[in-house]
Amino acid sequence: MSEKVWLAYYPEEVAPSYEYPKQNLAQFLIDTAEKHPQHTALFFYGKKITYEQLLKETYQFSNVLKDLGVEKGDRVAIMLPNCPQSVIAYYGALMIGAIVVQTNPLYVERELEHQLNDSEATVLIALDHLFKRVKNVLPKVEVRHTIFTSFKDYLPFPKNILYPIKAKKDGLSMEVSYDQQTHSFKKLLSIASTNPINVKIDAEEDLALLQYTGGTTGVSKGVMLTHYNLVSNTLQTKAWVYRSEEKKERYLATLPFFHVFGMTTLMNLSIRLGGTLLLLPKFDVDMTLKLINKQKPTTFPGAPTMYMSLINHPKIKNFDLSSINVCISGAAPLPGEVQETFERITGGKLIEGYGLTEASPVTHANNIWERRKLGSIGIPFPDTIAKVVDPETGEEVENGEVGELIVQGPQVMKGYWKRPEETSKTLKNGWLYTGDMAKMDDDGFFYIVDRKKDLIIAGGFNIYPREVEEVLFEHPAIIDAAAVGVPDEYRGETVKAYIVLKKGATTDEKELETFCRERLAAYKIPRIYEFRESLPKSLIGKTLRRLLVEEENEK
């Protein structure tokens, strides 16, 4: 590992190491607006916002926060989908030295209350759709000011806009009762100063973000990411997509910015490169296809379920997807069949990468235009070191052996917010222990086997759900699948497979067992099959195995 054998597979255009400026993350916006003031920064259902206008409104919002008493280090929660306000609030908070707390708009009251209390956020920016939910939570938290905004603040919305929150009448807005603590985003912005605010920060020490983990392995924790962490990972990503040119890239922004994957590979990267963000509040396959067909995005980071939905759309041949040059898939394993089919349809490159919230998030990726390996997450980013160790001893294992993936790099978090014990378990001697089981081949390409906590132990044998799922994805009738361990009196645990079939396709347990028996060792073959219309997913498309396990435990 110490030889960094993966460097032999770096493109000539990518250096092993770079200098990363110790600056406020929002400096990317300031610099780009100075260079390309009239270039379109955001496109939102026909509404175009230039970099000059975006910077002006960001300065206004930073002054709004200052007038509300927000100071450096205060936490500002943003509970918005992808829309102009989410970008303005994000960079506006950073400019004043505040710490952004990205909050999922789909959180139920219990989840929202936990995050606001844990982060001790003093300001919350939210959609007016969420007024009732937020109002119910406010008496239980320390938020002093709530700012509500509507999609209609920025454009007269078409009636067919989709967003997964019920609201009155047209589904776009609802009445908000304003008072001294409850404010209108639009009104505050209209009266705010446009003077720049330049709060001095220590980029390596000061936090830009409290990014809460999804809670898939327990209580949701706040990951402390500094300005330097996020600047570094943005520039590492920029180096990897070295053919991307300033002002020429159009980013299809269906990944939510409140998830760190979308925040880095879409929002921060596009702003740094002077790109155009084509904003969608949520992923909807029909709207996405229409947007690609009409607005010609060049870059489309996403989750495997997004690519699956597109290639399996019954009218896919009616849309021109040839503008897409680069797609980086993350958040979940990318099935090889999906990768090959998507590339054939678009003519672009779809590569698998890897990251986690604790690393801002990207640590690995396959080469886009050079050698890659199907099924692999690729090789470590510049300035990133990775190795595979025995989870018990911490000793590095031999190439090809399975162990826990650990990483080092400038993008690795400062720690968990107010959780020193959990920090010490995850950060050890400068290494981030990912909790993912992996292996490295002789060329330095890494392969994720599965989450350590998702491991199935049947009759003393270790079974990794991802390995079973990869085989199931090869079956021509299957569009989605998940494998989990369920209690078994004899084996302790056994494998249960949840299957979603393609429209019009048929198969049965007997056929699937035969199919798996030809491709898996006997102890790995699912003993139970359950056919479903869909599988539970996170908002970025990650299959929530824990919910399937919880269902089994409740039976």
| Per-residue pLDDT tens digits for 7-43 | 999 999 999 999 999 999 999 999 999 999 999 999 9
- In the prediction, which pLDDT does 459 show? 67
Run of H or E including 115: helix 109-119
Mean pLDDT over each residue of the chain, to the nearest integer: 91
313 pLDDT band, cuts 50/70/90, is very high
- In the prediction, which pLDDT does 326 show? 97
- In the prediction, which pLDDT does 174 show? 57
Q: What is the mean pLDDT of residues 508-533?
A: 91
Contact between 126 and 105 (Cβ < 8 Å): yes
Q: What is the mean pLDDT of residues 339-361?
A: 95
Which of 45 and 37 is assigned the larger pLDDT?
37
Q: What is the mean pLDDT of residues 353-361?
A: 95
158, pLDDT greater than 60: no
Amino acid at 75: R
Contact between 81 and 37 (Cβ < 8 Å): no
Q: Does domain 455-554 have CATH number 3.30.300.30?
A: yes
Taking residue 260's Cβ as centre, other Cβ atoms within 10 Å add up to: 29
Q: Nearest-CA neighbor of 138 among 91, 197, 199, 181? A: 181
Q: Nearest-CA neighbor of 112 among 313, 238, 322, 258? A: 258
Question: Terminus-to-terminus CA distance in the chain, angstroms?
Answer: 46
455-554 has the same fold as 37-196+213-384 = no
396, pLDDT greater than 50: yes
Q: What is the mean pLDDT of residues 44-61?
A: 96
Q: Picking from 60-74, 168-182, 353-367, which range would have the lowest pLDDT averaged per residue?
A: 168-182
- In the prediction, which pLDDT does 60 show? 98
Residue 19: partners with Cβ closer than 8 Å, 6 or more residues away: none
Q: What is the mean pLDDT of residues 411-431?
A: 95
Contact between 114 and 220 (Cβ < 8 Å): yes
Contact between 217 and 368 (Cβ < 8 Å): no
- In the prediction, which pLDDT does 449 show? 85
- In the prediction, which pLDDT does 219 show? 64
Which of 446 and 155 is assigned the larger pLDDT?
446
Q: Tell the CATH topology of 37-196+213-384.
A: Rossmann fold (3.40.50)
pLDDT, one tens digit per residue, over 433-472 is 998 989 999 999 999 987 767 778 786 666 878 889 988 9
Contact between 82 and 154 (Cβ < 8 Å): no
- In the prediction, which pLDDT does 296 show? 97
Report the DSSP pairing between strands 431-440 and 403-408: antiparallel
407, pLDDT greater than 90: yes
- In the prediction, which pLDDT does 215 show? 46
How many residues belong to the chain?
Answer: 555
User: What percentage of the chain has pLDDT greater than the value 70?
Assistant: 93
Spans of all domains in the chain? 37-196+213-384, 455-554
- In the prediction, which pLDDT does 172 show? 44
DSSP state of 395: P
- In the prediction, which pLDDT does 143 show? 97
- In the prediction, which pLDDT does 336 show? 85
Cα–Cα dist 334/303, whole Å: 8
pLDDT, one tens digit per residue, over 162-215 is 444 444 433 445 567 777 799 999 999 999 999 999 899 999 999 999 999 854
Q: Picking from 154-158, 177-181, 216-220, 345-349, which range would have the lowest pLDDT averaged per residue?
A: 216-220
- In the prediction, which pLDDT does 303 show? 85
pLDDT, one tens digit per residue, over 81-120 is 999 999 999 999 999 999 999 998 888 788 899 999 999 9
Report the DSSP pairing between strands 427-428 and 431-440: antiparallel
pLDDT, one tens digit per residue, over 292-312 is 999 999 999 998 888 988 999
- In the prediction, which pLDDT does 378 show? 97
